[in-house]
Structure formats: C-alpha cells, structure tokens
Amino acid sequence: MDYTSLALITAIPFLVAPIYDSIERKVKAAIQSRIGPLGLARSFLQSWFDLIKLFSKELVLTSYGMALITILELLFVSITVVILQIFLITPQLEWVIALLITFLSISSAFSLIRAISLDNPFSSIGAFREFYVTLAVEGFFLSSLAIMLLVEEPIIIKMLLFCIAALSCYVLSGRTPFDIAEAEPEIASGVYIELSGPLLATTSYSLHIRRYVLAEILSYTLLKLIGIAGTGFASLITLLLTPITWIVLGVVSVMLGRTRVDVGPITLLKVMLILIFLMFVAMIFVVRLV
C-alpha cells in the first residue's frame, strides 16, 4: 500500500464525521416531522457550516486549562482515529490493536480530567455525570473489544461480546439517554457551559470524530461477528457500514428520553454484569462440549 492511499484513508474520518452528523440531524428531523436543514447542501454539510461559523467567532478563554484540555482531547481522538484507520488496513498487526485500545482509553480519560479542571458548579456536575457513565462502561468496553479482536472464540461468546461492545459504543457516543453530562434543560449544557466559539467548535469536532471511531469500531465488530473481517474487502465494507451504524445509533436516540445519573449508570452496570455472567455460563457450556 502506497503512502497516498494511506493518507487518503486516514483523512476520511476527519472529512466525513461532520457530514455523517449532518445526515443524522436530517434523519432525526424527519422522525420529528420536521424538514431540518434546508436544501441539498445543508442536508449533508450543515454540521460543517456550524463548525466553520463557530470557528469564525471570537475566542473567549475562561481558563487556559480548559483550552489545553479541549485541544489535547482533539489531538488524542485524532490519533485514535488514525490508528483505527491503520488497523483497518492491517488488521493482523497485534501491536496496532494494543495501541488502538491504549489510545481509546486515553481519549476517554479526558472527560475525567475535565471533572477536576472546572470551577463552574454546572460543569462540575456535568463532568461528574460523565465520569459515572464512563466508569460504568469503559472497562467492559475495552476488555470485550480486546478479546474480540485478539482471540477467536465460539459464536455464542462472540455474540455476547458484541452486545457489550455495541451497548458501550452507544453509551460512549454521548447520545440520549446518556447525554446527562450536557443536559441543556437541567444543568445549562453542563460540561459545555464555559465553551464558546472556536473552543466549542473544537469540542464538537472531537465529539464528531469520537462518534466516528465508535461507529467504525461497531461496524467492524459486526463484521467480525459475521466472520468476514480481516480482508481488504471487509475493510471497505466497514467504511461503508460506518455511516449506517452512525445513523442507526442516532435513530435509537430519538426514541428515548434522558436518563438520570442515579438510574442510568446503575442500570448499565447491571446489564453489563448480566451479559458477563451469561458469557461465563456460555464458556462453561462450551468447555463441557469440547
């Protein structure tokens, strides 16, 4: 594989993430019986327009720490997505998988750093909410992902692992009901309250890319579940499947309301534990059978 195509493939997420987001908005609008962004260009590019507009606004810095974290967050998600793209091309290299998982965990650690770096009561509440949600799924997500990518296991276990991964992908993508960290009506946008202009743009761009990462991982694990991962063809399918996964996640979120911090994470934890328990049961069965 030459360098141009490598560059191209790694560039894709940075370009298409806001486009997918625009499409999600259009689809959501349709479910809410609205027209949504008007016209063909806006249907696909509205989020890009929004980002550009935000970038062109004046910069207001409430604290340098905020700015630093915002930029670092973007940096680390970007590295994650680049590694993810490399992984897509060369799924055999185990060190890439290791790197991918490391960076996934680093980039979500930033939400936790936010929790301690803010002084505003609303954003601290928001950050702590994010903390709880991340805590409830992150560990399960990374371990199930690692097992899935590194080990070949029987289909039933694969299915359970996929369930865990899919649920975590949904939760970590910050959609309702798990958008409690930025609940606009409750805590005035929580973690985003002190962001505006270019900083807000940076943060939402990071969010778009994070969603891209999660959607692509989910698409990949789906292929893995079916058993066609690992070829160049499969990589292409993954790329094509990503927007569909993205939008499916979006559609699910339209039909739900926002959860509460003392309900959501605990329910999640319970579901996760049930899934893990089922997995153990399945494993025992499989071992017996063999």
Binding residues vs other proteins (CB under 8 A): 29-35, 38, 121-122, 125, 176-177, 179-180, 183-188, 251, 254-263
- Compute the least distance from the CB of residue 155 to other proteins, in Å: 25
- Compute the least distance from the CB of residue 179 to other proteins, in Å: 7
- Compute the least distance from the CB of residue 264 to other proteins, in Å: 9
CB 165 within 8 A of CB 113: no
Pick 234 or 268: Cβ nearer other proteins: 268
Cα dihedral: 209, 220, 164, 171 (round 10): 20
CB 13 within 8 A of CB 208: no
Pick 23 or 279: Cβ nearer other proteins: 23
Six-digit token pair at 12?
């894709």
What does the alpha-carbon distance between residue 177 and residue 256 come to, in Å, rounded to a whole number? 6
- Compute the least distance from the CB of residue 245 to other proteins, in Å: 18
Pick 112 or 188: Cβ nearer other proteins: 188
Pick 31 or 52: Cβ nearer other proteins: 31
What does the alpha-carbon distance between residue 7 and residue 86 come to, in Å, rounded to a whole number? 10
The alpha helices in 32-120, defined as continuous H runs, are 40-55, 64-89, 94-117
Amino acid at 172: L
- Compute the least distance from the CB of residue 142 to other proteins, in Å: 27
- Compute the least distance from the CB of residue 115 to other proteins, in Å: 14
**First CA to last CA across the chain, in angstroms?**
41
User: 213: burial class by Cβ within 10 Å (0-12, 13-18, 19+)?
Assistant: buried
CB 22 within 8 A of CB 43: yes
Pick 4 or 33: Cβ nearer other proteins: 33
Pick 255 or 289: Cβ nearer other proteins: 255
